[in-house]
């Protein structure tokens, strides 16, 4: 018998067959044998993978009643949603810019200050979300240091039409329709979603809401035609647009000077893919992914209607790619890939349209020496037009110790290329007075200002700094899983990430008016390490319990060195006395919780059509920002208190599952922290109605 994972390119039929099996299971929060594609870029059973992978199924998302990607991810073990110019994802203690977000294997673009806003992604048409933790640059290149989140959209399995609507607190309305059509050789789907909310306001006494009203539309379509068993063409496209109003006071409370405006986001992806298979052992795909992301904002003074600010940001991404899979034997197979990325940015804060391109190639070999061993070795080479070349290798192995216990380990290198902002930004803040220039701009700007006699002092010669290097990480993951019984599953993973050459802003020069000129340099070395544990227990055919926990330690290595040298101090805010900081005072990097945990209970009664669940999510205290002037996290006042949110949902189906009514409460106990977490609304009550029509074919 061939091992399960020896069929890398599973045909459509096989996939639907596996789905059918998975769906017929009464209730499982974590399927033991889900097929995922993200970890190896080929279809694999989760149980066979030598790296930590989490899968969130459509069924689970439906039972939770989630609408947007951030709502789903914040409930998963080891993941935190952090807010910095949008809601982004923290994985293994990494900032959001170090995790790649993919839809059907292709990257979403449009990051503001590094954060990809997760609420841009609607989840009603998702088959599953795959989360790979640990470095994945060996397959995906830049930005995959912490991991990869891949959103797999549904492929039609029958003719089906689904309509749903949901209404809740803050006049939040979601309207969805999902149409699917399938014949023997051809399938197509059309997903439409409108989401709108009136927002909310923690400070009604001031002008402008905490979250202003916004509405957005998502249109997504996928079509596929199978010419023969050897040739298949698929086309997928997605369009997202959002509009949000913007109101604020640039004057004082006594003398208000009100500004009002509107911002818009447009995001477009298009991807044709040709899948092929030779009669021999070779198969593969060719794709041409194209994405555009554009934001526009303009605001005017309410007093006289004159323009306050107008800005735009326009990013494009084009990627042709080829991937080949060669099955040598049941014990050996290799995946090859090569491609090119052409990127450009044009924006208010850039002198001109900036472009760069990357050429890359990757290879991965899978070896199954015995039934107990599974070894994957791979690497990727990226050559970038601005900052040079990167090689990112990775090695992973799994060993089946007993039929119930598997051990796994992986080590890999990840990298993140300097982004457009770090290279080309040309920004003068006239209100606060400072300037920020990308590294490719800064020498020219300082020279120009020097010629004009504008430079007072140069602290750091940009010619000496040279070009930015990519940020790099070396990561280790060790762990195992224990299928204690058919109903009990435990997972444990230890991780350690050492990141060097982190890019940070630094003062390069000062103008004669005393204002600073910033640019970027490869400065910091940081680490994150910890343990992630999760387990699930099927209590009965109807009830499943699960729990997860992550322990996390982080730190800036240069800060630790300076503490050891006695160069960092703290001042007591009351006595004003200064003392030396010790290692035990140091709280690590800001925004990281030492402890995070979740506990969930899911109930399902298939016969009667009921589901119910209760999920509690704990986020331990984390550093918000420096308050005592030493720029490091040490004082208790610098932390945000830990908190628990509890979410519940109940649903009942009628008319042979054609109609489903659902109601729920997110943040049931109305936890808010308006100072530190303004993006977190209070209790959200909601109710929804789903109606589906289908015909078996």
Partner 1 sequence: MKNFAMLLSSAMLALALTSCKEDNVTPVQPVVTETVRDLPADPVRIDPATGRPLGGTNRFTLYSLRENRIVANSDSATNKWDIGLRGTTLIVNGGAIRSGQGGAFIFTGLFDELKEIPATATFRTDQSPSDLAIPNASGQGWYNYNSQTHLITPIPGRVIVLRTGDGKFAKVEILSYYKGAPAAPTSTSESRHYTFRFSFQPDGSRKF
CB atoms within 10 A of CB 665: 19
First to last CA, the chain: 32
Q: How near is the Cβ of 508 to partner 1 at its closest, in Å?
A: 11
Query: Who's near 670: CB < 8 A, 6+ residues apart?
Result: 682, 683
C-beta closer to partner 1: residue 254 or 402:
254
Q: Is 670 in the site for partner 1 (CB under 8 A)?
A: no
Q: Is 459 in the site for partner 1 (CB under 8 A)?
A: yes
Question: Can you state the percent helix, strand and coil of the chain, rounding each to 5?
Answer: 10, 55, 30
Nearest to 35 by CA among 13, 63, 61, 5: 5
Q: How near is the Cβ of 625 to partner 1 at its closest, in Å?
A: 6
Q: Is 255 in the site for partner 1 (CB under 8 A)?
A: yes
DSSP secondary structure string for all residues of 109-142: ---BTTB--GGG-B-TTEEEEEEEES--HHHH-T
C-beta closer to partner 1: residue 213 or 256:
256
User: Pick from 513, 607, 636, 656: which binds partner 1 (CB under 8 A)?
Assistant: 513
Q: Quick one: how far is CA 182 from the chain centroid?
A: 31
Region from 95-103, 286-294, 369-377, 507-515 binding partner 1, contact rule CB under 8 A: 507-515
C-beta closer to partner 1: residue 260 or 454:
454
Q: Is 451 in the site for partner 1 (CB under 8 A)?
A: no
Q: Is 629 in the site for partner 1 (CB under 8 A)?
A: yes
Region from 99-107, 197-205, 513-521, 523-531 binding partner 1, contact rule CB under 8 A: 513-521
Region from 33-41, 259-267, 452-460, 550-558 binding partner 1, contact rule CB under 8 A: 452-460
Q: Is 82 in the site for partner 1 (CB under 8 A)?
A: no
Nearest to 294 by CA among 315, 311, 309: 315
Region from 61-69, 296-304, 482-490, 562-570 binding partner 1, contact rule CB under 8 A: 562-570
The backbone region for 656, taken as left when phi is positive above 0, alpha when psi lies in -120 to 50, beta otherwise, is left
d(CA 461, CA 509): 8
Q: Is 388 in the site for partner 1 (CB under 8 A)?
A: no
User: Pick from 431, 451, 574, 607: which binds partner 1 (CB under 8 A)?
Assistant: 574
Provide the H-helix boundaries in 409-547.
420-424, 439-451, 462-465
Q: Is 3 in the site for partner 1 (CB under 8 A)?
A: no
DSSP 1: -
C-beta closer to partner 1: residue 365 or 510:
510
Q: Is 507 in the site for partner 1 (CB under 8 A)?
A: yes
C-beta closer to partner 1: residue 484 or 512:
512
Region from 279-287, 326-334, 394-402, 451-459 binding partner 1, contact rule CB under 8 A: 451-459
Q: How near is the Cβ of 519 to partner 1 at its closest, in Å?
A: 15
Query: Is the CB of residue 151 less than 8 Å from the CB of residue 102?
Result: yes
CB atoms within 10 A of CB 576: 7
User: Pick from 228, 452, 637, 695: which binds partner 1 (CB under 8 A)?
Assistant: 637
Q: Is 607 in the site for partner 1 (CB under 8 A)?
A: no
Q: How near is the Cβ of 678 to partner 1 at its closest, in Å?
A: 12
d(CA 473, CA 403): 34
DSSP helix/strand/coil, 371 = coil
C-beta closer to partner 1: residue 1 or 574:
574
Q: Is 625 in the site for partner 1 (CB under 8 A)?
A: yes
User: Pick from 1, 13, 431, 432: which binds partner 1 (CB under 8 A)?
Assistant: 432
Q: Is 570 in the site for partner 1 (CB under 8 A)?
A: yes
Q: Is 682 in the site for partner 1 (CB under 8 A)?
A: no
Q: Is 516 in the site for partner 1 (CB under 8 A)?
A: yes
Q: Is 385 in the site for partner 1 (CB under 8 A)?
A: no
C-beta closer to partner 1: residue 37 or 509:
509
Q: How near is the Cβ of 123 to partner 1 at its closest, in Å?
A: 32
d(CA 468, CA 485): 52
Q: How near is the Cβ of 93 to partner 1 at its closest, in Å?
A: 21
Number of shown-chain residues binding partner 1 (CB under 8 A) = 34
C-beta closer to partner 1: residue 91 or 563:
563
C-beta closer to partner 1: residue 271 or 519:
519
d(CA 523, CA 418): 13
d(CA 631, CA 628): 7
Query: Who's near 112: CB < 8 A, 6+ residues apart?
Result: 85, 86
DSSP 69: H
DSSP secondary structure string for all residues of 198-248: --B-S-TTSSS-SB--EEEEEEEEEEEEEEETTEEEEEEEEEEEEEEEEEE
Q: Is 514 in the site for partner 1 (CB under 8 A)?
A: yes
Q: How near is the Cβ of 523 to partner 1 at its closest, in Å?
A: 13
Q: Is 349 in the site for partner 1 (CB under 8 A)?
A: no
Q: How near is the Cβ of 265 to partner 1 at its closest, in Å?
A: 24
d(CA 667, CA 682): 6
C-beta closer to partner 1: residue 388 or 566:
566
- List the beta bridge partners of residue 287: 273, 321
Q: How near is the Cβ of 636 to partner 1 at its closest, in Å?
A: 11
DSSP 155: -
DSSP 584: G
Query: Is the CB of residue 4 less than 8 Å from the CB of residue 18?
Result: no
Query: Is the CB of residue 124 less than 8 Å from the CB of residue 164?
Result: yes
User: Pick from 1, 13, 431, 576: which binds partner 1 (CB under 8 A)?
Assistant: 576
User: Pick from 579, 670, 673, 697: which binds partner 1 (CB under 8 A)?
Assistant: 579
Helix (H) / strand (E) element for 494: namely strand 488-511
Region from 280-288, 509-517, 610-618, 666-674 binding partner 1, contact rule CB under 8 A: 509-517
Provide the H-helix boundaries in 378-438.
420-424
Residues in contact with partner 1 by the rule CB under 8 A: 252, 254-255, 432, 456-457, 459, 507, 510-514, 516, 566-571, 573-574, 576, 578-580, 625-631, 637
């Amino acid at each position: 018998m061939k091992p399960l994972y020896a069929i890398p390119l599973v045909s459509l039929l096989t996939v639907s067959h596996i789905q059918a099996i998975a769906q017929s299971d009464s209730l499982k929060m974590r399927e033991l044998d889900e097929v995922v594609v993200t970890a190896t870029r080929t279809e694999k059973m989760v149980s066979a993978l030598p790296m930590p992978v989490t899968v969130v199924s459509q069924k689970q998302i439906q039972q939770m009643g989630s609408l947007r990607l951030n709502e789903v991810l914040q409930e998963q073990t080891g993941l935190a949603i952090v807010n910095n110019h949008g809601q982004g994802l923290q994985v293994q203690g990494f900032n959001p810019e170090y995790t790649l977000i993919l839809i059907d294997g292709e990257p979403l673009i449009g990051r503001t200050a590094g954060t990809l806003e997760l609420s841009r992604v609607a989840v009603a048409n998702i088959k599953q979300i795959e989360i790979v933790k640990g470095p994945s640059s060996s397959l995906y290149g830049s930005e995959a240091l912490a991991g990869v989140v891949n959103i797999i959209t549904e492929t039609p399995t029958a003719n089906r039409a689904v309509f749903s609507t949901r209404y809740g607190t803050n006049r939040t309305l979601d309207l969805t329709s999902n149409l699917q059509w399938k014949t023997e050789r051809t399938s197509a789907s059309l997903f439409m979603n409108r989401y709108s909310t009136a927002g909310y306001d923690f400070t009604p006494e001031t002008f402008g809401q905490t979250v202003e009203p916004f509405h957005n539309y998502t249109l997504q379509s996928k079509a596929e035609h199978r010419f023969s068993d050897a040739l298949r063409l698929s086309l997928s496209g997605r369009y997202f647009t959002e509009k949000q109003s913007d109101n604020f006071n640039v004057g004082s409370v006594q003398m208000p000077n009100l500004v009002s405006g509107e911002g818009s986001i447009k995001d477009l992806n298009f991807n044709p893919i040709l899948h092929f298979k030779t009669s021999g052992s070779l198969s593969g795909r060719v794709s041409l992914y194209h994405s555009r992301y554009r934001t526009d904002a303009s605001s005017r003074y309410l007093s006289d209607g004159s323009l306050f600010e107008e800005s735009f940001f326009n990013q494009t991404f084009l990627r042709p790619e080829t991937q080949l899979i060669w099955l040598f034997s049941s014990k050996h197979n290799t995946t090859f890939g090569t491609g090119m990325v052409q990127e450009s940015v044009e924006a208010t804060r850039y002198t001109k349209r900036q472009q760069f391109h990357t050429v890359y190639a990757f290879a991965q070999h899978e070896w199954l020496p015995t039934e107990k061993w599974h070894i994957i070795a791979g690497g990727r080479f990226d050559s970038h037009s601005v900052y040079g070349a990167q090689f990112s290798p990775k090695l992973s192995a799994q060993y089946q110790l007993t039929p119930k216990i598997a051990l796994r380990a992986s080590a890999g290198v990840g990298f993140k290329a300097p982004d457009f902002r770090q290279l080309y930004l040309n920004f003068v803040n006239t209100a606060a007075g400072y300037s920020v220039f990308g590294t490719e701009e800064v020498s020219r700007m300082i020279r120009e200002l020097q010629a004009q006699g504008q430079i007072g002092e140069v602290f750091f010669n940009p010619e000496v700094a040279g070009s930015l290097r990519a940020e790099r990480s070396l990561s280790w993951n060790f762990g195992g899983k224990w299928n204690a019984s058919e109903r009990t599953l435990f997972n444990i993973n230890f991780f350690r990430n050492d990141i060097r050459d982190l890019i940070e802003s630094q003062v390069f020069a000062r103008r004669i008016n005393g204002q600073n000129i910033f640019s970027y340099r490869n400065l910091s070395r940081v680490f994150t390490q910890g343990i992630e544990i999760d387990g699930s227990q099927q209590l009965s055919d109807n009830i499943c319990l699960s729990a997860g926990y992550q322990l996390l330690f982080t730190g800036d290595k240069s800060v630790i060195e300076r503490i050891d040298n006695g160069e960092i101090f703290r001042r007591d805010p009351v006595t004003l006395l200064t003392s030396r900081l010790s290692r035990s005072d140091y709280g690590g990097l800001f925004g990281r919780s030492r402890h995070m945990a979740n506990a969930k209970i899911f109930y399902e009664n298939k016969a009667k059509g009921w589901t119910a669940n209760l999920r509690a999510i704990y986020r331990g205290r984390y550093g918000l920002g420096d308050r005592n002037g030493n720029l490091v996290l040490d004082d208790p006042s610098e932390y945000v208190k830990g908190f628990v949110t509890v979410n519940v949902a109940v649903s009942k189906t009628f008319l042979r599952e054609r109609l489903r009514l659902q109601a729920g409460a997110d943040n049931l106990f109305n936890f808010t922290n308006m100072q530190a977490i303004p993006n977190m609304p209070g209790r959200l009550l909601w109710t929804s109605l789903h109606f589906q029509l289908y015909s078996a074919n």
